[in-house]
Homo-oligomer: A and B are copies of this chain.
Amino acid sequence: MLEIAVIGAGRIGQIHARNIAAHQGAVLVGIADPDADAAARLAQACGSKVIALDDAFRAQAVLIGSPTPTHADFIERAAQAGQAIFCEKPVDLSLARVDACIATVQRAGVALMVGFNRRFDPHFAELKRRLDAGAVGNLEMLTIISRDPSPPPASYVAVSGGLFRDMMIHDLDMARFLLGEEPVAIHAAASCLVNPEIGAAGDVDTAMVTLRTASGRLCQISNSRRATYGYDQRIEVHGAAGMLRAGNVPTSTVEVATAAGMTGDPVLPFFLERYAAAYRAELDYFITEVAAGRHPAPSGADGRAALRLADAATESARSGQVVAL
């Protein structure tokens, strides 16, 4: 039984804490959060207890679900304490800080897994399995469509690091996961079409990115902060021998036919619903790997690589030019 402490009782901390509490191979030793009420509510819901931050670094493993600016510090404390670490993305918004953090982790020799949950989505994981099994031959083109149902508040946008680091970073990780090669060039085009306040905060809400790898594989990513029909999460791989895709998951299979046509249910509304199974699978994998003494992936290096792509995309969208990697 892996003893795990959770830092952060917010939206993502709640998901992980509940999953740890329900897991047969783990014990939720406690929840630390400066908001004592939030920590208490979550502890009660999970049959666990509130703990001090210092105590979180005394468990075998720690799950860091606190705000982004705290991630790197907490990772370093955990590494020095010899803990296995699961940290939500991103490690940090500064590549230099990420590098320092990873160095600390490496010196400590501990496991660091970064929360790119989509790799564990059953649909995308099945697509990856088929791709690896050769279902469509050599990958030639990859298309990732990823749209949030509605934009975050401007206050969030201001501290988010921008669309590329906050939102598209998931797609950039997915691109690396599926392309099987590192991109060598990136181009981003972006606009503010959804909410002028996002533009006023210096960010964009609509973006298209193109990646190119050394062998010539191409990848397109399409992001919007708005989708009236739900959380739009699709992947399509075009290969020498065929095409492979994973689509959205509707709320139910119910369809109604009238003179207006045949209408299926909207897709699952947002990440809590769409990725519920992914969060469980991600945690299960982390626990299994740590219990077996292995270092799970996506690692700190994967987190760094995705951030580097997000930085380059930000630069490309700003300059209007292609960025070599």
| A residues in contact (CB < 8 Å) with B | 22, 122-123, 126-127, 130, 135-136, 138, 140-141, 143, 145, 147, 185, 187, 189-194, 206-208, 210, 212, 216-220, 222, 224, 226-229, 232, 238, 240-267, 320-322
Contacts and interface: CB of A to CB of B under 8 A. Distances in A.
A189 B189 contact: no
Nearest to A255: B245
8 contacts: A122-B252, A123-B252, A130-B254, A138-B193, A143-B143, A210-B220, A228-B259, A246-B255
A189 B191 contact: no
B187 A210 contact: yes
A216 B245 contact: no
Contacts of A122: 252
A187 B210 CA distance: 9
Contacts of A264: 261-264
A55 to B, nearest CB: 25
B244 A253 contact: no
A242 B257 contact: yes
Nearest to A324: B320
A36 B206 CA distance: 56
A-B pairs, 3 with minimum CB distance: A191-B216, A229-B257, A242-B258
B206 A218 contact: yes
A322 B220 contact: no
Of the listed residues A141, A240, A256, A322, the one surrounded by the most CB atoms of chain B closer than 10 A to its CB is A256
B322 A135 contact: no
A246 B256 CA distance: 9
A229 B266 contact: no
A206 B246 contact: no
Given A140-B206, A243-B257, A253-B246, A265 B135 contact: no
A232 B222 contact: no
A143 to B, nearest CB: 6
A255 B266 contact: no
B263 A254 contact: no
Nearest to A226: B240
Contacts of A127: 254
A206 B189 CA distance: 20
Nearest to A191: B216
Contacts of A266: 257, 259-262
A249 to B, nearest CB: 6
A256 B267 CA distance: 13
